[in-house]
């Protein structure tokens, strides 16, 4: 769900890209923006229930207009319920079933996009997102909320796989890092947008309009995609040589002959046996390129164990407890301004993500990951103490710090490391496996947190702190340094 591509080339080449093929043209810029809006959809849906869940679930009643009954509002006149009665377990299920859809969408996304193209896949994902969002907006029952959340989860799970594929394939040489990092940045912008929309709309009369915001984003994205050309590399991989040249010429600018020369280089790459696009893995249980074979292969055991711990552990450190339930946590001590504080926490997340995207590839992986994880452990512990002892200011300050230190390392690095510690022929399967682990971890936290938090209160963050501490020890002992890796797979794991 968090995917940052290399920015090393960006830092060395971005200053003076002189040739047409290295320019960021208007057409290419437009295409990148359109693709990145899909990531905004993901971020929006991830946190759309954060602010309104108390009024949505009938746990609180915030009447914006005294003396003006709900039945007289536009929503009330059309049969929309003022709220949908939900207990803590049901809130957890509605929130977490987004992840069930996400697993399904991300698992089949590459195969679907390789068959039907990046553009068509994105159009279908936007359409599914519109349908799912409308179901959520129109929901008057617990079951319909779940159905809508699963559908938007499938769409978003597919989008965050398809979008990096498209961006990677259209990005000019020297721009891959910055353009690739747009996925992560736009996910955080989506979370921020949700919290911004929630500021004026989180009350017992207008909370549905927060959910309707995702419909508008998906519709906008859908129509914008019609003006974007298909990935030229995908076109060439499917034998559509002329279409690939035309698409590349429109996206990159320059002459048709310049585009033809670059396409010719791609053809040579294909003829030499190198894949031009992300290879499709087998979706069946058995097969030479299946996930099941990857799980059974004992030669992958050490790298697979690291991927499992890092991708599950990232979620079990509690980040999505804040992203999904931050308003409820803060409202325990500061109910009047909980939504506003959550908005500013999301803003910090965006700013740190942008900074990290530019700097992370110039830093060593292991020290940064360990530092981030240790600081997450410390800040989570202090947050737990602050909740238990009603220290409002302490909770707010360390919520900001927690978000910052998590974003600087524990957020992006597991997704970078999981490719770098795997054998070249296993990178795609390793990435698929790690993504599934991360989705499952998110599901577990999303489902269990409301229940555990009501029982343990701040002690749940002390549990997160202990988990983060254990992960730090695991990183120190088991995770190799992979920056500028030159050693072979066997040499990396020889002493571990």
Phi and psi at residue 279, in whole multiples of 5°? -65, 150
150 neighbors 97 (Cβ within 8 angstroms): yes
pLDDT of res. 177: 65
Could you read off the pLDDT of 279-326 as tens digits, one per residue?
766 554 455 567 888 888 888 889 999 999 999 999 999 999 999 999
> Percent of the chain at pLDDT above 70?
91
CATH 3.40.190.10 fits 1-231, yes or no: no
Closest by CA position to 205, among listed 116, 81, 339: 81
pLDDT of res. 496: 64
Could you read off the pLDDT of 405-444 as tens digits, one per residue?
999 999 999 998 998 888 888 888 898 999 999 999 999 9
**How is residue 484 written in tokens?**
């500028």
Average pLDDT over residues 477-491: 77
417 neighbors 336 (Cβ within 8 angstroms): no
The CATH code of the domain at 281-490 is 1.20.1250.20
pTM for this model (two decimals): 0.90
Average pLDDT over residues 246-253: 91
Phi and psi at residue 42, in whole multiples of 5°? -60, -50
Is the pLDDT reported for residue 492 higher than 80? Answer: no
State how far Cα 182 lies from the chain centre.
11
**How is residue 362 written in tokens?**
């110039």
Q: What is the CA radius of gyration of the chain?
A: 23
Could you read off the pLDDT of 54-83 as tens digits, one per residue?
999 999 999 998 889 999 999 999 999 999
Alpha-carbon gap, residue 324 to 332, rounded angstroms? 15
Q: How many residues does the chain have?
A: 496
pLDDT band at 5 (very low <50, low <70, confident <90, very high): very low
Residues 6+ apart with CB under 8 A from 99: 153, 439, 440, 442, 443, 446
CB atoms within 10 A of CB 11: 16
Domain boundaries, given as residue ranges, for the chain: 1-231, 281-490
**How is residue 473 written in tokens?**
């020890």
pLDDT of res. 6: 35
Alpha-carbon gap, residue 373 to 468, rounded angstroms? 6
């Amino acid at each position: 769900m968090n995917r940052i591509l290399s920015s090393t080339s960006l830092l060395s080449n971005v200053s003076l890209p002189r040739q047409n093929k290295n320019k960021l043209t208007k057409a290419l810029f437009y295409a990148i923006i359109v693709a990145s809006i899909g990531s905004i959809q993901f971020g929006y849906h991830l946190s759309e229930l954060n602010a309104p869940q108390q009024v949505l679930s009938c746990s609180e009643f915030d009447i914006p207009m005294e003396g003006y009954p709900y039945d007289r509002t536009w929503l009330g006149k059309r049969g929309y319920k003022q709220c949908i009665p939900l207990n803590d377990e049901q809130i957890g299920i509605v929130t977490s079933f987004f992840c069930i859809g996400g697993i399904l969408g991300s698992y089949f996304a590459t195969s679907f996009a390789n068959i039907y193209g990046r553009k068509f896949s994105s159009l279908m994902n936007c359409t599914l997102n519109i349908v799912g969002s409308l179901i959520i907006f129109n929901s008057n029952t617990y079951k319909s909320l779940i159905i809508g959340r699963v559908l938007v989860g499938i769409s978003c799970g597919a989008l965050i796989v398809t979008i990096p594929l498209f961006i990677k394939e259209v990005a000019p040489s020297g721009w891959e890092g910055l353009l690739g990092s747009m996925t992560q940045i736009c996910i955080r912008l989506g979370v921020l947008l949700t919290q911004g929309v929630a500021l004026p709309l989180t009350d017992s009369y207008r909370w549905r309009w927060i959910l309707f915001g995702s419909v508008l984003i998906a519709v906008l994205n859908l129509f914008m995609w019609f003006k974007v050309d298909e990935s030229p590399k995908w076109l060439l991989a499917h034998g559509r040589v002329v279409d690939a040249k035309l698409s590349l010429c429109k996206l990159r600018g320059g002459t048709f002959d310049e585009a033809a020369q670059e396409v010719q280089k791609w053809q040579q790459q294909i003829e030499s046996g190198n894949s031009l696009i992300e290879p499709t893995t087998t979706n069946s249980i058995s097969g030479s390129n299946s996930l099941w074979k990857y799980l059974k292969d004992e030669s992958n055991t050490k790298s697979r164990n690291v991927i499992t711990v890092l991708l599950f552990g990232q979620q079990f450190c509690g980040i999505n407890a804040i992203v999904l339930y931050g308003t409820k946590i803060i409202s325990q001590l500061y109910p009047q301004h909980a939504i506003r504080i959550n908005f500013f926490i999301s803003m910090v997340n965006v700013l740190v993500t942008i900074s990290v995207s530019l700097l992370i590839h110039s830093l060593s992986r292991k020290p940064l990951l360990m530092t981030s994880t240790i600081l997450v452990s410390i800040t989570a512990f202090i947050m737990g103490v602050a909740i238990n002892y009603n220290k409002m200011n302490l909770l707010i300050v360390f919520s900001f710090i927690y978000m910052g230190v998590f974003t600087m390392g524990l957020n992006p690095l597991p997704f970078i490391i999981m490719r770098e510690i795997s054998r070249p022929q296993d990178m795609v399967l390793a990435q698929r496996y790690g993504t599934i682990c991360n989705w499952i971890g998110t599901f577990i936290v999303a489902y269990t947190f409301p229940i555990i938090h009501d029982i343990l209160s701040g002690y749940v963050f002390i549990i997160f702190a202990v988990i983060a501490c254990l992960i730090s020890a695991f990183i120190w002992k088991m995770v190799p340094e992979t920056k500028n890796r030159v050693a072979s797979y066997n040499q990396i794991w020889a002493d571990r």
